[in-house]
């Protein structure tokens, strides 16, 4: 059992800081000797976030996930510290890297009640952007230990408290994964508090290292045992780890690997051993067996074995019986890959918690579709509007929609198209709603399509959105093409057209730079061109989908490739005649067919 020497504070007289804070809030000058520079900088940021200084008003973010590796490793360390503190009025708080409180241990009932009153409790975020200057958010913002004492807090409600926060860095990657904070009454605070917080952060880091070593060792063991025993392809996956043996590396190309991992992800999420027969994008039929590895990270660590059953076209009905499918999560959407389900789940959770969210991803990946479906799932009767930042009347439209107090969901799409002036306008308009109807806010979704992977400068706008969900490009969940194609064809041709197996394979080999929107557009073209009902053959597809190149083509090369395909089609696939009609030699057309990957 420890007694913390709670000596009087060393950070200047509280009256001085209280006066400096008042001066700051009333725009009077604040001397650098009156307040520490790190606190002043944090006050400026808090003011920038337009936080009310007279009260703390935090949104309830979510049910914290207590099975994060951080929470699991920290649990025994925090429990030990709690016991050692033996009833002293010090609260131990663990947050994730965004400042969301995961866990709180408080032995003193009076302090516990006060912390409940100021929402310093699991599920609330003490990020600086919500709570202003405080031990947790300001430590995370600055990336180092931070104590915040009494009147140094931006929000008046916190001035009775003293907090010592320390970010926790992952022992291997060095990335910040969370923060530990010790909070006590202002009158009890002393310099030992920050020292104790630092030691606790070190102990949590050490526990994480021990846990991840055990986990990785268990995975390596499982991998080596099965790799030695079997001639099969073997892969081992964990949250941020992938190992595969030479057979898997040689046999499975990138698209096939993604498909295998997609199947495995779904099966591992169920937490039981599973075996499915499936066709990979390359046309190979395989049996994929998965089993969770003990000691692996929660739910996601597992051993995958892949056995080849046959190639193109030799599938048997028994093999066609796919994995037991989990259902798509959201209404009106198809796709059951782990990547797509992951984004759907996150969008659904954000909508349920009415947490403002940025959906980001390449063009046409389905960002607006996801927002609509999440709204439909959680708030089916409520009005939803979509405003396009790229449209001419955007400002007027945004203002009009947000003035409507009956609005439940607002999607602002193409936020990357906002210029600096419109970013400011959007921020001000959203703040207007936050102030006018704080208890009945609409759910606001921002969709963002970074150009060439470059994130646009959206200034303060992103600070209003505590969550970002990445929506994967179609090539990262290519197995969903198998469901998207019948879904789109059904809608476009009223069930009159279906897709043959060769055509499906061709569609699954395409890289789809325009993603799901492009797939939908291609099928629209096919439906418009085909007048008869029936089965779509590979030759019905536009030229660019019929060729799968191993590299990206220049515009000129793409034109040449399309001309070759058209000529081959016009000449019933006869290469010599196609070459002649294009004025090229037979050797050249053979080389180009190979180079451009024309099937
Ligand atoms: N999983 C899905 N199931 C059914 N339809 C989908 C799915 N994903 C996308 N779509 C459809 O694909 C098209 C493109 O989707 P959407 O407009 O939502 O993409 P986006 O990412 O918002 O596009 P942009 O980048 O242009 O803003 C829409 O017709 C949408 O309904």
Pocket test of ligand 1: the residue of 516, 521, 522, 524 to mutate, having most ligand atoms within 8 Å of its CB, is: 516
Strand, coil or helix: 547:
strand
Residue 362 sits in the same domain as residue 300: no
Q: Work out how many domains the chain is built from and give that number.
A: 4
Q: What order do you get walking across the sheet with 357-360 strand by strand? A: 384-388, 409-413, 443-448, 357-360, 467-470
* CA neighbor of 369 nearest in space, from 524, 517, 514, 521: 517
Distance from C-alpha of 453 to C-alpha of 80, rounded to nearest angstrom: 45
pLDDT in tens, 499-555: 988 888 888 878 788 999 999 999 999 998 887 778 998 888 888 777 665 455 555
Contact 163, 194 (CB under 8 A): no
Q: How far is the CA of 524 from the centre of ligand 1 (A)?
A: 14
Which atom belonging to ligand 1 lies closest to the Cα atom of 480?
Answer: 1
- Helical H segments across 530-574, by residue range: 543-546, 555-570
Asked if residue 224 belongs to a domain, the reply is: no
Pocket test of ligand 1: the residue of 365, 366, 489 to mutate, having most ligand atoms within 8 Å of its CB, is: 366
- The residue from 443, 472, 501 where one domain ends is 472
Residue 131 sits in the same domain as residue 172: yes
Element (H, E) at 177: strand 176-185
Q: How many CB atoms lie within 10 A of CB 494?
A: 10
* CA neighbor of 278 nearest in space, from 265, 297, 259, 250: 259
Strand, coil or helix: 469:
strand
- Helical H segments across 151-252, by residue range: 192-229, 246-251
Domain of 578, CATH number, reads 1.10.10.60
Element (H, E) at 48: helix 37-48
Strand-strand pairing, 534-536 and 497-499: parallel
Residue 205 sits in the same domain as residue 273: no
* CA neighbor of 161 nearest in space, from 137, 185, 145, 177: 185
Distance from C-alpha of 34 to C-alpha of 11, rounded to nearest angstrom: 10
Residue 198 sits in the same domain as residue 241: no
Which residue's entry shows tokens 């991840």?
A: 212
Nearest protein CA to atom 15 of ligand 1, as residue = 366
At residue 153, φ and ψ (nearest 5 deg) are -60, 145
Residue 123 sits in the same domain as residue 188: yes
DSSP 429-482: HHHHHHHH-TTSPPEEEEEE--BTTBPP--GGGGGG--EEEEPPPGGGGGGGHH
What number is the ipTM of this complex? 0.99
Distance from C-alpha of 419 to C-alpha of 555, rounded to nearest angstrom: 30
Q: How far is CA 151 from CA 35, 263, 292, 397, 398, in A?
A: 10, 54, 51, 43, 39
Distance from C-alpha of 344 to C-alpha of 333, rounded to nearest angstrom: 9
Question: Which residues, other chains included, contact 583 with Cβ-Cβ below 8 Å and sequence gap of 6+?
Answer: none
Contact 175, 168 (CB under 8 A): no
- The residue from 210, 241, 263 where one domain ends is 210
**What length is written for the chain?**
599
Residue 238 sits in the same domain as residue 170: no
Q: What is the pTM of this model?
A: 0.49
Strand, coil or helix: 305:
strand
The per-residue pLDDT string of the chain (599 residues; one tens digit each, 9 = 90 and over) reads 444 443 334 444 444 889 999 989 988 888 777 889 899 989 989 988 889 999 888 877 767 777 778 998 999 999 999 999 988 999 999 999 999 999 999 989 999 999 999 999 999 999 999 999 999 999 999 999 999 999 999 999 999 999 999 999 988 778 899 999 999 999 888 878 999 999 999 999 999 888 877 777 777 777 777 766 556 788 888 766 778 888 888 888 877 887 788 777 777 766 677 787 777 877 788 888 888 876 554 556 788 888 887 655 444 433 333 443 455 678 999 998 878 988 998 999 999 989 999 999 999 999 999 999 999 999 988 999 999 999 999 999 999 999 999 999 999 999 999 999 999 999 999 989 888 887 888 999 999 998 755 667 888 898 899 889 999 888 888 888 989 999 999 999 888 889 988 888 888 878 788 999 999 999 999 998 887 778 998 888 888 777 665 455 555 676 777 788 778 878 888 888 888 888 888 888 887 887 777 76
Distance of CA 76 to the CA centre of its chain: 29
Q: How far is the CA of 551 from the centre of ligand 1 (A)?
A: 26
Distance from C-alpha of 171 to C-alpha of 205, rounded to nearest angstrom: 6
Strand-strand pairing, 384-388 and 409-413: parallel
Q: Which domain holds residue 413?
A: 338-472
Domain of 362, CATH number, reads 3.40.50.300
Q: What order do you get walking across the sheet with 176-185 strand by strand? A: 101-106, 90-96, 176-185, 161-169, 146-149
Q: How far is the CA of 473 from the centre of ligand 1 (A)?
A: 11
Residue 153 sits in the same domain as residue 108: yes
Residue 30 sits in the same domain as residue 166: yes
Nearest protein CA to atom 10 of ligand 1, as residue = 366
Asked if residue 541 belongs to a domain, the reply is: no
Contact 595, 561 (CB under 8 A): no
* CA neighbor of 412 nearest in space, from 364, 455, 356: 356
């Amino acid at each position: 059992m420890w007694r913390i020497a709670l000596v009087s504070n060393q950070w200047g007289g509280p009256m001085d800081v209280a006066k400096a804070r008042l001066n700051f809030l009333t725009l009077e000058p604040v001397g650098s000797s009156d307040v520490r520079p790190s606190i002043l900088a944090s006050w400026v940021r808090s003011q920038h976030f337009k936080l009310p200084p007279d009260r703390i008003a935090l949104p309830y973010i979510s049910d914290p996930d207590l099975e994060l590796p951080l929470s699991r490793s920290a649990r025994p360390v925090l429990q030990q510290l709690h016991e050692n503190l033996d009833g002293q009025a010090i609260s131990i708080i663990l947050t994730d890297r965004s400042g969301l409180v995961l866990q709180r241990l408080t032995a003193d009932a009076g302090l516990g009640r006060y912390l409940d009153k100021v929402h310093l409790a699991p599920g609330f975020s003490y990020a600086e952007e919500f709570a202003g200057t405080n031990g947790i958010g300001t430590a995370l913002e600055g990336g180092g230990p931070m104590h915040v004492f009494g009147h140094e807090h931006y929000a008046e409600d916190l001035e009775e408290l003293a907090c010592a926060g320390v970010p926790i860095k992952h022992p291997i990657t060095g990335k910040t994964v969370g923060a530990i904070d010790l909070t006590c009454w202002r009158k009890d605070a002393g310099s030992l508090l920050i020292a104790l917080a630092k030691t606790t952060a070190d102990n949590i880091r050490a526990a994480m290292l021990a846990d991840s070593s055990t986990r990785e060792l268990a995975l390596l063991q499982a991998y080596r045992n099965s790799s030695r025993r079997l001639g099969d392809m073997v892969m081992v996956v964990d949250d941020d780890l992938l190992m595969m043996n030479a057979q898997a590396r040689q046999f499975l190309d990138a698209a096939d690997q993604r498909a295998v991992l997609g199947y495995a992800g779904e099966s591992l999420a169920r937490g039981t051993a599973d075996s499915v027969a499936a066709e990979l994008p390359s046309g190979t039929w395989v049996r994929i067996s998965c089993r969770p590895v003990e000691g692996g990270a929660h739910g996601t660590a597992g051993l995958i074995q892949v056995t080849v059953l046959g190639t193109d076209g030799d599938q048997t009905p028994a093999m066609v019986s796919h994995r037991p499918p989990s259902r798509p999560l959201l209404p009106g959407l198809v796709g059951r890959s782990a990547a797509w389900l992951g984004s759907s789940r996150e969008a659904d959770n954000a909508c349920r918690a009415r947490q403002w969210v940025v959906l980001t991803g390449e063009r046409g990946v389905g960002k607006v579709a996801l927002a609509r479906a999440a709204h439909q799932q959680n708030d089916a009767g409520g009005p939803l509007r979509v405003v396009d930042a790229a449209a001419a009347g955007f400002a007027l439209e945004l203002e009009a929609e947000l003035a409507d107090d009956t609005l439940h969901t607002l999607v602002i799409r193409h936020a990357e198209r906002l210029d600096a002036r419109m970013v400011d306008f959007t921020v001000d308009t959203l703040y207007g709603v936050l102030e006018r109807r704080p208890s009945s806010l609409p759910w606001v979704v921002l969709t963002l399509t970074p150009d060439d992977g470059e994130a646009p400068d959206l200034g303060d706008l992103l600070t209003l959105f505590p969550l970002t969900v990445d929506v994967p490009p179609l090539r990262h969940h290519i197995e969903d093409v198998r469901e998207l194609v019948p879904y789109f064809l059904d809608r476009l041709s009223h069930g009159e057209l279906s897709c043959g197996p060769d055509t499906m394979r061709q569609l699954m080999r395409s890289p789809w730079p325009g993603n799901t929107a492009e797939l939908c557009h291609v099928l629209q073209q096919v439906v418009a061109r085909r007048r008869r009902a029936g089965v779509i053959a590979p030759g019905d597809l536009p030229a660019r989908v019929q060729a799968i190149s191993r590299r990206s083509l220049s515009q000129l090369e793409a034109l040449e490739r399309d001309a070759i395909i058209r000529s081959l089609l016009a000449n019933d696939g006869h290469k010599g005649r196609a070459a002649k009609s294009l004025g090229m030699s037979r050797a050249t057309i053979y080389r180009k067919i190979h180079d451009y990957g024309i099937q």
